[in-house]
Structure 1
């Protein structure tokens, strides 16, 4: 099998800091809001993002 590596292009910031308090689905988040920070060197890749209704974010839980 071939290894697959990925390079982060940003950070997802969340109000949840304790895994036990983090909802498993957004419906249980009760209005909580997060923020996606894209590193400056990748910002140009968002140029035409206004035409989309949804984004798929691939993430890695680095503190679990």
Structure 2
């Protein structure tokens, strides 16, 4: 079976190197980040305001 992924955006954080980067959510308390969604996917996310939570599935590539 072949699985292909297409990125819909990029997560930006203060971390630029693996050293010092938390590997568990409890180690990242208070850390802020942003998610930049590619323009062609923005309309598909327009109703997220109606939800209390979303699940973000990501692939670490560096």
The answer to whether TM tops 0.5 is: yes
Matches within 5 A, 1:1-64: 2-63=1-62
**Cα offset, 1:26, TM superposition:** 2.0
| Structure 2: 5+ residue stretches without partners | none
- How many residues matched? 62
RMSD: 1.2
Distance across 2 between alignment mates of 1:26 and 1:14: 14
Consecutive unaligned residues of structure 1, counting only runs of 5 or more, are none
Deviant stretches of 4+, over 3 Å: none
